[in-house]
C-alpha cells in the first residue's frame, strides 16, 4: 500500500503536540491517508462510531486534525487553497478500491442522495399509515442536505413539516412549502396564530446568514398570501436550537472548532463571541446524529399535542387487528376470484390486448410513480362487466 504513518493512541484524544509529531511536515496525500488509516484502526479496535456521512467523517475527524496541525488553510505553490476535502474523497476511494476498507466499515452512508430499490407495485388494498401532517405549521429546518433523512424521519414521526436548505435557501422553495402549509386542511382546521420554525445550522457566519434568510423567506411568503387564506396567522416564530458551543463537550470543542473564512466574520464574532473569546466556528456535522435527533424531538414535543399521536397509535392498533383478522380470508377469496377470471374467455382475451406502447413513457413524463387504478380500469373497460360477472359467481 502507498505510504502512511501509523499513530499510537485514540485519534480523537490526541493533543496538538502529538498531532504535529505524527503528521508534521508530511506530504498532503500522506497526511490524509494516515488519518484515514488511523480511523480504520480505531474502528477495528472497537472505538464507537455512529452512522455518518462522508462530510460527517470530514467534520468529526479529518478537519479538526488538519486545523490543529495548522495546515487547513495551507496554500499551494501557486497560491491556491488546498482542496483537503477532495483529497479525502480521493484517498478514501483508493483505499476502498485496494480492499483496505469499505464505506460500510467506516460507518459512511451518503445522506445527501436519496435511494430507492426496485419494488413490486403495491397491490394490497388495506393499509395502515402513520404518516402525519397533523401539525404542518411546525417546520424543521437545517441547512445541510446530509441531515435531510434525519429531519424527514422526524417530520413523519411527529406529523410536522421539514425543509432542507442545501446551503442558502431558495425563495421558490420557501414560498411553495409555506403556501402548502397554510392551504392544508390541518392548518385551516386548527387555525394557529404562528408558523414555528425550529432550526439547526452551523455555528459560523454562513450558518447564521442562512438561518436568517430562511426565516425572512417564510415570513415574506406568508405575508404575500391573502388575509382570507392566512386565517388567524399573526407571525412566523423562529427558534434556533443550535449549534452552540455549550452543546459540545470541551473535548469535542477542541476537536471540531475551526477558523471560519466566511464573509461577515467580524460582525458574527461580535454578536456571538465565537468560542472562548476566539473567532472560531463549528460545523453542524460535528454533532452526533443521535444528539441532533434528540434536540429536534425534544423541542417538537413542546409545540404539539403528543397525546394526539398516542391516539393515532391506538387507532392504528384497532385498525391493524381488524386488518389481520380480515386479510387471510380476503386474500384467499381474492385469489380464487382472480384465478377464475383469468381462466375465463374474457380473462384470456384481456391478456391478448396490446397495451399502448407509449403508456409508460407518458406516465414517466408526467412524473407518475406507477399506472393508477383508474387508468387500468379505463384501459380494459370493455371487459369490466364480464369480469365482474365471473367474479360475482365465484363470490357467491
The CA-based dihedral angle spanning residues 241, 242, 246, 252, taken in that order and rounded to the nearest 10 degrees: 130
pLDDT in tens, 41-85: 999 999 988 888 788 888 889 988 998 899 988 888 888 888 898
**What predicted TM-score, i.e. pTM, was given to this entire model?**
0.69
* Predicted pLDDT of residue 193: 96
Of the segments 94-108, 149-163, 223-237, which one has the largest average pLDDT value? 223-237
* Predicted pLDDT of residue 129: 36
* Domain span(s) for CATH 3.40.1360 in the chain: 135-305
pLDDT in tens, 300-332: 999 988 888 888 888 878 888 888 888 888 888
pLDDT in tens, 83-103: 898 899 899 989 988 888 988
* Predicted pLDDT of residue 118: 52
**Res. 164 pLDDT band, cuts 50 70 90:** confident
| Residue-averaged pLDDT of the chain | 85
C-alpha cell at 102: 469499505
* Predicted pLDDT of residue 165: 67
* Predicted pLDDT of residue 45: 92
- 135-305: CATH topology is Dna Topoisomerase Vi A Subunit; Chain: A, domain 2 (3.40.1360)
φ/ψ bin of 231: left (φ > 0), alpha (ψ from -120 to 50), beta (otherwise) = left
**Res. 131 pLDDT band, cuts 50 70 90:** very low
What does the pLDDT average to over 34-42?
Answer: 95
Instruction: Report CA torsion sign: 212, 213, 216, 217.
Output: negative
**Res. 130 pLDDT band, cuts 50 70 90:** very low
CA distance 308 to 337: 40
What does the pLDDT average to over 121-132?
Answer: 37
pLDDT beyond 70 at 114:
no
**Minimal CA–CA distance to 331: which of 128, 127, 125?**
125
**Minimal CA–CA distance to 68: which of 30, 23, 3, 8?**
23
**Res. 126 pLDDT band, cuts 50 70 90:** very low
* Predicted pLDDT of residue 333: 87
CA distance 262 to 29: 26
Lowest mean pLDDT among 48-62, 112-126, 278-292: 112-126
**Res. 237 pLDDT band, cuts 50 70 90:** very high
**Res. 368 pLDDT band, cuts 50 70 90:** low
**Res. 167 pLDDT band, cuts 50 70 90:** low
Residue 316: partners with Cβ closer than 8 Å, 6 or more residues away: 128, 130
* Predicted pLDDT of residue 53: 79
C-alpha cell at 78: 501557486
- Tell me the pairing of strands 135-142 and 235-242: unpaired
pLDDT beyond 70 at 155:
yes
Percent of the chain clearing pLDDT 70 (strictly above): 91
What does the pLDDT average to over 127-138?
Answer: 61
pLDDT beyond 50 at 127:
no
pLDDT in tens, 177-209: 888 899 898 899 999 999 999 999 999 999 999
CA distance 161 to 155: 6
What does the pLDDT average to over 268-272?
Answer: 93
Amino acid at each position: 500500500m502507498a505510504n502512511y504513518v501509523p499513530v499510537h493512541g485514540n485519534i480523537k484524544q490526541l493533543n496538538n503536540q502529538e498531532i504535529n509529531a505524527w503528521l508534521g511536515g508530511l506530504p498532503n496525500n500522506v497526511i490524509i491517508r494516515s488519518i484515514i488509516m488511523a480511523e480504520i484502526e480505531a474502528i477495528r479496535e472497537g472505538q464507537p462510531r455512529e452512522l455518518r456521512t462522508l462530510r460527517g467523517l470530514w467534520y468529526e475527524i479529518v478537519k479538526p486534525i488538519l486545523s490543529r496541525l495548522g495546515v487547513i488553510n495551507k496554500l499551494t505553490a501557486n497560491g491556491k487553497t488546498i482542496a483537503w476535502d477532495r483529497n479525502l474523497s480521493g484517498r478514501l476511494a483508493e483505499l476502498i478500491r485496494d480492499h483496505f476498507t469499505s464505506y460500510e466499515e467506516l460507518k459512511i452512508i451518503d445522506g445527501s442522495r436519496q435511494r430507492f430499490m426496485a419494488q413490486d407495485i403495491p397491490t394490497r388494498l388495506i393499509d395502515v399509515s402513520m404518516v402525519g401532517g397533523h401539525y404542518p405549521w411546525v417546520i424543521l429546518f437545517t441547512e445541510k442536505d446530509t441531515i435531510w433523512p434525519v429531519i424527514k424521519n422526524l417530520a413523519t414521526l411527529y406529523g410536522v413539516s421539514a425543509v432542507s436548505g442545501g446551503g442558502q435557501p431558495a425563495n421558490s422553495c420557501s414560498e411553495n412549502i409555506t403556501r402548502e402549509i397554510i392551504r392544508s386542511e390541518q392548518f385551516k382546521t386548527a387555525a394557529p396564530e404562528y408558523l414555528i420554525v425550529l432550526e439547526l445550522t452551523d455555528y459560523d457566519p454562513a450558518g447564521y446568514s442562512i438561518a436568517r434568510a430562511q426565516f425572512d423567506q417564510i415570513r415574506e411568503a406568508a405575508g404575500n398570501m391573502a388575509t382570507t387564506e392566512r386565517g388567524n396567522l399573526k407571525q412566523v416564530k423562529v427558534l434556533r436550537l443550535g449549534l452552540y458551543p455549550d452543546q459540545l463537550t470541551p473535548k469535542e470543542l477542541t476537536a471540531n472548532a475551526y477558523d471560519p473564512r466566511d464573509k461577515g466574520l467580524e460582525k458574527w464574532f461580535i454578536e456571538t463571541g465565537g468560542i472562548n473569546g476566539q473567532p472560531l466556528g463549528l460545523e453542524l456535522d460535528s454533532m452526533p446524529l443521535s444528539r441532533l435527533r434528540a434536540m429536534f424531538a425534544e423541542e417538537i414535543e413542546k409545540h404539539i399535542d403528543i397525546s394526539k399521536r398516542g391516539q393515532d397509535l391506538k387507532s392504528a392498533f384497532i385498525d391493524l387487528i381488524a386488518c389481520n383478522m380480515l386479510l387471510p380470508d380476503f386474500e384467499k377469496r381474492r385469489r380464487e376470484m382472480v384465478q377464475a377470471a383469468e381462466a375465463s374467455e374474457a380473462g384470456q382475451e384481456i391478456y391478448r390486448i396490446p397495451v399502448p406502447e407509449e403508456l409508460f413513457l407518458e406516465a414517466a413524463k408526467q412524473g407518475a410513480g406507477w399506472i393508477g387504478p383508474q387508468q387500468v380500469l379505463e384501459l380494459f373497460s370493455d371487459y369490466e362487466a364480464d369480469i365482474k360477472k365471473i367474479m360475482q359467481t365465484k363470490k357467491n
